[in-house]
Amino acid sequence: MDNANSENPLSRRARGRPKAFHDKSEQNTIQSLDRAVLVLGHLAERGGIALSDLAKETDQSPATLYRILTTYQLHGVTEFDEAEQLWHIGPKAYLIGSAFLRRTSVVERSRPILRQLMHDTGETANLGVEQGDLVMFVSQVETHETIRAFFPPGTQSQMHASGIGKALLAHFSADRLEDWLSRQELERFTERTLTHPDDLLENLAQIRDSGLSFDNEERNIGMRCIAAPVFNAFREPVAGISVSGPISRMSDDRLEWLGDLVKKAAARATEAIGGEPPAS
């Protein structure tokens, strides 16, 4: 083996971090930069704000804040509204944030969340997205149990008979949902499948209220699925996370516990891609 060509963590470390990169003490931070980042975060949360109000809310002197804000302004990170005398986030801040969004993949970011969900529940964890009026499963972490649900990446399923599909539909806008319904026949797969639009709409309203979607043998007899939506930065549903398995293991007395874990996993995925849930 040629050791000169082999990479190891020690050789890679120097490219982006100095030797003491684990040290988070003050000697390895820049106090003024730390303060500037905190100010930018506060400005992002508040929107337009006067310098005097920002000083009160951040407990910083107006002179210090003015230097920070005008430095940001030189680079387009902040803007000052002369008429209103208010400071705002600038376009360069959006471009910087967009760089994060470009490298963010819901599949990549959700993978460790799915692994943890499978570990915690003992059931197969899935990630699905809408694709051409259907749900497409794009990632899965299988349970080790002999009897299990299996949806290879690329598998598609009708949304009205899918836990993830209904979790997404529940958060469509009214116009988008009406448009989707106009193209569907709502095929029946089992006696539990919701095939009447009114029944489906009633179920979707319950899902919006609870934050959880259930496929109770609506696609396959003997199998149950619990799902929750993942949202992007525009509070739009872009994916769903679920656990699925046989009724014998996903029994009624475990639904509340399983549902809580699924909802928390979806919330972590939303946060991981820089998303936000809809305003309640």
pLDDT (mean) for 45-50? 84
Q: Do 73 and 205 belong together in one domain?
A: no
Q: How far is Cα 97 from Cα 89, in angstroms, rounded to an integer?
A: 12
Domain count, the chain: 2
Provide the domain limits for residue 262.
104-272
157 and 50, same structural domain? no
Say if residue 136 is in the same domain as residue 268.
Answer: yes
Q: Which two tokens stand for residue 27?
A: 């000697």
What tens digit of pLDDT does each residue of 190-206 get? Answer: 999 999 999 999 999 99
Residue 280 lies in a domain: no
Same domain membership, residue 112 and residue 87: no
Q: Are residues 55 and 176 in the same domain?
A: no
CA dist 135 and 160 (Å) reads 9
User: Between residues 151 and 76, which one has the greater pLDDT?
Assistant: 76
Please say if the pLDDT value at position 32 is more than 90.
no
Residue 185 lies in a domain: yes
Q: Considering 73, 101, 129, which residue would you say is the last residue of a domain?
A: 101
User: What integer pLDDT is reported at residue 100 of this predicted model?
Assistant: 62
What is the residue-averaged pLDDT of the chain? 87
pLDDT at 30: 80
145 phi and psi, to 5 degrees?
-65, 150
Which residues does residue 243 pair with via DSSP β-bridges, in sequence order? 125, 226
Residue 3: inside a domain: no
Q: Would you say residue 257 has pLDDT above 50? A: yes
- What pLDDT, on the 0 to 100 scale, is given for residue 266? 97
pLDDT in tens, 154-186: 788 999 999 999 999 999 999 999 999 999 999
For residue 46, the model assigns a pLDDT of 78
- Of 75, 101, 127, which one is at a domain's C-terminal end? 101
